[in-house]
Amino acid sequence: MVLENFEIGIIGAGDMGMLYARRFKQAGYAVNICDTPDRYSELQAKYGHLGLNILRDGYAVSRRSDFIIYSVPAVNIGRIVEEYGRATKMGAIVAGQTSVKTPEIQAFEKYLPDDVHIVTCHSMHGPNIDTKGQPLAIIRYRSDDKHYRMAVEALSALESRVIYLTYEEHDRITADTQAATHLSFISLGTAWSLQGYHPWLNPQFISGINNVKVAMALRIYASKWHVYAGLAIMNPLAKKQLQCYVESMTTLYKFMVAGKHQEFRTLVHEAADFIFGRERSHKKILLDDDILDQLSLSQVPKEQSKPNSHLSLLSAAVCWYKMGMSPYDNLICQTPPFRMWLGIVEYLFCHEGMLEESIETALSDRYTQAEDLVFYTAVTGWGQCIELGSFEGYRERFEKTAEFLSHKLEEGKDLSTMIIKKLTDRNEPN
């Protein structure tokens, strides 16, 4: 049902803002949208045919809209709400579409008029995935029942799978599911860049779960850097997860190079038992061979593949174990990268022969240990950048790696989108 005489405003005409604008317009709503004033003419020329009300700035959007959504980078949310918040229509509903809710709520509290209702949201996927069937967090922070119901009804136009959370729960779950996941994928990209080779030409990255690593790393590097920087640096709960991942990898790598084989095996198997149980031959719920075989960018024949230690995956399991956290508890708020990440960790640990090969390669293969040293260096470098809260450093590292991988980014994004859609379709109720 479309709410009558109800205009939706979107401040920020980036990829996610335009995804929302199209969905709301298709549902039958009047949509007011803007970006920075210098993009006004560009937006009119580019999107004028869509039937959107393209306005000059956030003042114009805020004054006439009944439901205003700030679709801006998390790093900018405070500045932008400070500028436009005072123009909010009396009694309107305001939401944000940032991936970190603590600074967003703080900005709303500080700069929005008291008569404004705050019902915020977060589509937990990127702009290249249709909103239908994907998780959407709805967060009631300050609203009466009438306006809360109106916000939920308007957001139903996205046809997403709704999860109702507090903003604190949202930030905890996104920290648990996204912080270490993103760190792993971006560090893989940096490690490849540092060594000057592309993974689709390396025999260690040409089959099975290695294809997922490559495709998801490319997917992230095909996106905007600020999406990942905001979550890592601004989420107050993410640093604990990131620190644990770095420490877990450090422990495993020290065991590898120090020849502490039994300690390495014991820690990996303790993590496996904690997360997956002692009996791990059950049917996998996330990934199977049919899906994995469709995901490949490799230019090397499959029969030439070489063993991989999968140190990034072993470290993820040890991190969850040390934090006493079951990753399955967070599938309610899964993002596509997390679902794929958990899927390949699960695939490795639930195939006994593959896990043993991974452990043996990590402990005995000197070439792999040298490769893993570069990955370890990349992880610790990203960890230090995030710990320092350096947005500029994050941007420089991200864009440098993206440039190295640039000629495969779109292909990797397309492949990962295909797999994510297959996973979504497979898990929808009949």
pLDDT in tens, 182-205: 999 999 999 999 999 888 777 777
Q: Given its phi and psi angles, is residue 404 left (phi above 0), alpha (psi -120 to 50 degrees) or beta?
A: alpha
pLDDT at 290 over 70: no
Model confidence at 40, pLDDT cuts 50, 70, 90, reads very high
**Burial of 401 (C-beta count, 10 Å sphere; 0-12/13-18/19+):** buried
Tracing tokens 């920020």 back to the chain, one arrives at: 12
Contacts 24+ apart (CB under 8 A), 159-162: 159/23, 159/131, 159/132, 159/133, 160/123, 160/131, 160/132, 160/133, 160/134, 160/135, 160/136, 161/133, 161/134, 161/135, 161/136, 162/136, 162/137, 162/138
pLDDT at 373 over 70: yes
Find which of 227-241, 380-394, 413-427 is predicted with most confidence, using mean pLDDT.
380-394
User: What integer is the mean pLDDT of 12-40?
Assistant: 96
Give the per-residue pLDDT at 129: 84
Q: How far apart are CA 404 and CA 310, in angstroms?
A: 22
Give the per-residue pLDDT at 427: 56
pLDDT at 401 over 90: yes
- The per-residue pLDDT for range 300-319, each reduced to its tens digit, is 566 667 889 999 999 999 99
* Apex 394 CA angle, 190 and 318, nearest 5: 60
- The per-residue pLDDT for range 68-86, each reduced to its tens digit, is 999 999 999 999 999 999 9
> Which tokens in the block code for residue 369?
């240990």
Question: 312 near 375, Cβ under 8 Å?
Answer: yes
pTM score, two decimals?
0.83
User: What integer is the mean pLDDT of 55-61?
Assistant: 97
Give the per-residue pLDDT at 430: 41
What is the amino acid identity at position 197? Y
Q: How far apart are CA 101 and CA 14, in angstroms?
A: 19
Give the per-residue pLDDT at 299: 57
Report CA 147 to chain centroid distance, whole Å: 30
Average pLDDT, the chain: 89
- The per-residue pLDDT for range 116-142, each reduced to its tens digit, is 999 999 998 888 888 998 899 999 999
Give the per-residue pLDDT at 428: 53
pLDDT at 165 over 90: yes
Give the per-residue pLDDT at 429: 46
pLDDT at 154 over 90: yes
> Which tokens in the block code for residue 399?
């864009």
Give the per-residue pLDDT at 296: 61
Contacts of 21 (CB under 8 A, 6+ apart): 10, 13, 31, 33, 47, 50, 52
pLDDT at 283 over 60: no
pLDDT at 218 over 80: yes
pLDDT over 70 percentage in the chain:
90
Lowest mean pLDDT, pick from 15-24, 57-66, 340-349: 340-349
Residue 69's beta-bridge partner residues? Answer: 10, 95
Residue 96's beta-bridge partner residues? Answer: 70
Give the per-residue pLDDT at 219: 87
User: What integer is the mean pLDDT of 81-92?
Assistant: 97
Q: What are phi and psi of 418, to 5 degrees?
A: -60, -45
> Which tokens in the block code for residue 281?
């031959």
User: What integer is the mean pLDDT of 393-414?
Assistant: 89
User: What integer is the mean pLDDT of 264-269?
Assistant: 97
pLDDT over 90 percentage in the chain:
65
